[in-house]
A and B are shown apart, each in its own frame.
Chain A
Amino acid sequence: AQSVTQLGSHVSVSEGALVLLRCNYSSSVPPYLFWYVQYPNQGLQLLLKYTTGATLVKGINGFEAEFKKSETSFHLTKPSAHMSDAAEYFCAVSQRTGANNLFFGTGTRLTVIP
């Protein structure tokens, strides 16, 4: 069975500060890994994904994430937070074979303080 844990339901950072959102997964086989962002009253938008190859993945809006198999983690980072980054962020996993259902974490709400 797969599961996703996002540590910290709320994270606050100052504008210009480093953003770090944590995600750990539990799976017998390393899954595909995703980060989605959800702005108020909008659907989810894919930020980035890891399927294979380079473990450091770059996404949209300056975000990146690193797959660390030994730590079963896929933390999301951005060097400098912008006010427009305020949103809810979801980590998700999908198994590599069979059905491609996404299993989401509970989300982390990012607040950016001016």
Chain B
Amino acid sequence: EAGVAQSPRYKIIEKRQSVAFWCNPISGHATLYWYQQILGQGPKLLIQFQNNGVVDDSQLPKDRFSAERLKGVDSTLKIQPAKLEDSAVYLCASSLGGTSVNEQFFGPGTRLTVL
């Protein structure tokens, strides 16, 4: 079974530029999550999708971050414009359903460096 795929793996941009990350979840997984992991911290949830609907985006900085999952499969996360403090690893995860007992499977992440 293929795991969660993310691209790119690494990205370096200058502040005020835009960037987009892509995630393809495990086939059949209805729930998709985007996490931000700042160096030295644990992952923090940015947004959760159930199929193509948003379940929770309370921690998403909506003035600069946006995410979509139009067909209920893969998803993109965009930052526009980027700030220095956005430097982090962005992790995508997926699970079969939206309950806590369903294991979340994580992708390898995209490491973003904002200069």
A→B interface (CB under 8 Å): 4, 9, 32, 36, 41-46, 49, 51, 90, 92, 94-96, 99-102, 104-107
Besides the known contacts A43-B3, A44-B93, 18 further A-B residue pairs in the complex with CB atoms under 8 A apart: A32-B101, A43-B91, A43-B93, A43-B105, A43-B107, A44-B43, A49-B101, A51-B100, A90-B42, A92-B42, A96-B100, A100-B99, A100-B100, A100-B102, A101-B48, A106-B40, A106-B42, A107-B42
Contact residues in B for A41 (Cβ distance below 8 Å): 108
For this complex, into which size category does the number of interface residues on chain B fall?
20 to 34
Can you report 29 A-B residue pairs in the complex whose CB atoms are below 8 A from each other?
A: A4-B42, A32-B100, A32-B101, A41-B108, A42-B108, A43-B4, A43-B91, A43-B93, A43-B106, A43-B107, A43-B108, A44-B91, A46-B104, A51-B101, A90-B42, A90-B43, A94-B100, A95-B100, A96-B100, A99-B55, A99-B56, A99-B98, A100-B100, A101-B48, A102-B104, A104-B43, A106-B42, A107-B41, A107-B42
Determine the residue in chain B with the shortest Cβ distance to A45: B106
Query: B109 on the interface (CB 8 Å rule)?
Result: yes
Contact residues in B for A42 (Cβ distance below 8 Å): 108
Determine the residue in chain A with the shortest Cβ distance to B92: A43
Determine the residue in chain A with the shortest Cβ distance to B9: A41
Contact residues in A for B48 (Cβ distance below 8 Å): 99, 101
Contact residues in B for A9 (Cβ distance below 8 Å): 40
Contact residues in B for A107 (Cβ distance below 8 Å): 40-42
Binary contact track B17-47/A, C-beta < 8 Å → 1, others 0 = 0000000000000000000000011111100
Task: Give the residue of A49, A96, A99, A104 whose beta carbon is less than 8 angstroms from that of B103.
Answer: A49
Those of B66-115 within 8 Å (CB) of chain A: 91, 93, 98-109
Contact residues in A for B98 (Cβ distance below 8 Å): 99-100
- In Å, the complex CA distance between A51 and B102 comes to 11
A97–chain B nearest beta-carbon distance, Å: 9
